[in-house]
Amino acid sequence: MTTNEIENLAINVIKGISMDAPHAAKSGHQGTAMALAPLAHVLWSRVLTYDSANPLWPDRDRFVLSAGHASILLYSMLYLTGHGLTIEDIKEFRQWGSLTPGHPEAGHTAGVEVTTGPLGQGIANAVGMALAERNLRARFGENFCCHYTYFFCGDGDLAEGISHEAASFAGHQQLGRLIGVYDDNHISIDGPTELALSDNAVQRFESYGWQVIDLGESSEDLDAIEEAFLLAKSIEDKPSLIVLRTHIGSPSPDIDTPDVHGYSLKDEKITETKKRMGIPGDESFYCPEEVLDFYRAAGSKGSEARNDWEKRQGEDLENSEIWNACQANTGISGWQNHVPSWSVGDSVATRKASNACFQTLSEFVPGLVGGGADLTGNTGTTLKGLGVQSYECPEGRQIYFGVREHAMGAICNGLALHGGFIPVNGTFFVFADYMRGAVRLAALSNAKNIFVWSHDSVGVGEDGPTHQPVEHLSSLRSMPNLQLFRPADANETAAAWTIAIDTPGPTGLILTRQDVPVLKGTDDIEKISKGAYILSEPEHAPEVVIIGTGSEVSVAIEASEILDNQGINVRVVSMPSMGLFAQQDENYQSSVLPKETPTISIEAGSTFGWHQWSDTQIGIDRFGASAPGETVMENLGISATSLVAAVQDLLQR
């Protein structure tokens, strides 16, 4: 067979698998994968630099399928190019425990870079990966890092607001090694995209500062697609978007219909489509040896580049320690010895203590980068002396994200999943709602991302209910695999930072706007790592236990002193991380919170979830108010006076 014949057959094999796997599952999305088969073929066989034998090679090109519903396209390419998937894995598409779930999941399937499916997220992840590549290349040189980031997206991705945030940021940053393809197929689930969409994508991305390459009706012209990729790779000062008018479900009987966006092609239509393509209509998962050999050769041709890269690493010992620390997501030897500490009696807002940790540790944890969503100073995410990330200063580790919370979280997920970084991103806690989709995907994909959420309660004060988080902490506590800390003071904040850097997945730091006193006994990281611990113990057996978090721990201490003068023995427990405490064994939990001892909790937020740990809850189950922070706290019952009265009532009952 000629090369052209092999390539045409290979593309038809991809289209066949894209019909057969959803049909076997009786679920999935056939049409987009079929339409993009020529595009995927060109990328994986002619353009992408990778080594299928080593899918985690740090200097590989990155590929993000932002249109994650077309996952069978990605799985087909991973199977064909030899990333470890077998044809049996393809046949188990969307089944329990399979390596081919309904949407791509990072860390689950070799070759899948990020978890996609919630539309628009993958675009922002790709922006983060391109930012990561540029920063590492600037800091360590091309011997260590020199590659490209590609993504495929559709109209759904571009309709989601996060795509605007991410694309605007990427254009401003002039991320020249970021190359996207817009699958302009004019079809959505509801019908033609014209029902709800009349954007001019070319003009839109040009206004962001992107290089736009409009290929029009060239979705099956392999050479034109390759030339577009090569042109995009030659542009160093702009990200590129290739716009491709495709025909969803081509060449099936359902071409260009909303039905084929999902699972419309069944027995007869699949047979008919395969006949149109010239492959056996009665054979499912058809893949002749010559096609498999062709793709396996494409999958292994990057091994030489990988071997050369490994050789260069061995020759460049000067940067090795820092590079290795970045890749391991940790600090250089002894970094823990540089964590800041504060003296008992100091008065420090935990957001300011957090900034001191971020600034100090950035010298010893080289992967730390980040900033805020136009709230960099307010949230304590300022990094001084390390450069501001830009086209002119690509080595800069301070990132100004602008008012783009959702994209900020997703860009940082991309930074983390690229490797080499522990990204830090900050905004007011109330705006965690604006980035929740990215936070959830960080937890789902185990992205080591540090979310800094300051202004953590009604203590925000005069800004009022719109800026005072009440339900947010309870809500985020319910999210699996998200480690949350609401530290009592500066020293608990430092401990939270240490634990965050030692934790493989995402961490949220919930921090005060207002100053809080540094308390005695909050500097024991071993105790803090258990999520809750005894902070203050009476001389005699406790009659009541008060649990506090964040700024309310000092309120608990104040109330315990008042109660002590009344002859009531009070134990005070600080619970900076309810989630970590829940992971401890029952013996430890009982040693901190004895079942026979009445317990009361105090937290300036929703009481939802506290019934597991306390008999009585003091909290805020309403929205806040506009007034000075101390006034709002007092009027909503977050005070030592209210706590003392509640303890007395609890003991009487």
Q: Residue 212 — φ and ψ, nearest 5°?
A: -110, 130
3-state secondary structure 72-94: HHHHHHHHHHCCCCCHHHHHCCC
Rounded Cα distance between 123 and 407, Å, is 9
Residue type at 105 in one-letter notation: E
Residue type at 643 in one-letter notation: L
Residue with tokens 């694309």: 167
Of 512, 442, 479, the C-alpha closest to 579 is: 479
Active-site positions read: 405
SS3 (DSSP) at 323: helix
* Residue burial 459-496, b: 16+ Cβ < 10 Å; e: rest: bbbebebebbbbebbbbbbebeebbbbbbbbbbbbbbb
Which residues are bridge partners to 507 per DSSP? 450, 483
Q: Residue 128 — φ and ψ, nearest 5°?
A: -60, -40
Dihedral of CA atoms 555, 557, 561, 562 in degrees, nearest 10, equals 20
Cβ-Cβ contacts under 8 Å for 187 (sequence gap 6 or more)? 31, 193, 248, 256, 257, 258, 260, 261
Ramachandran area for residue 596 (φ above 0: left; ψ -120 to 50: alpha; else beta):
alpha
Contact 134, 237 (CB under 8 A): no
Residue with tokens 């706290």: 633
Which residues are bridge partners to 601 per DSSP? 547, 617
Rounded Cα distance between 491 and 488, Å, is 8
Rounded Cα distance between 647 and 16, Å, is 69
Cα separation values, 170 from 133, 238, 350, 389, Å: 13, 8, 32, 12
CA angle 30, 63, 241 (to 5 degrees): 85
DSSP 8-class letter at 471: S
Q: Are strands 211-216 and 240-245 parallel, antiparallel or unpaired?
A: parallel
Contact 626, 548 (CB under 8 A): no
Number of residues in the chain: 653
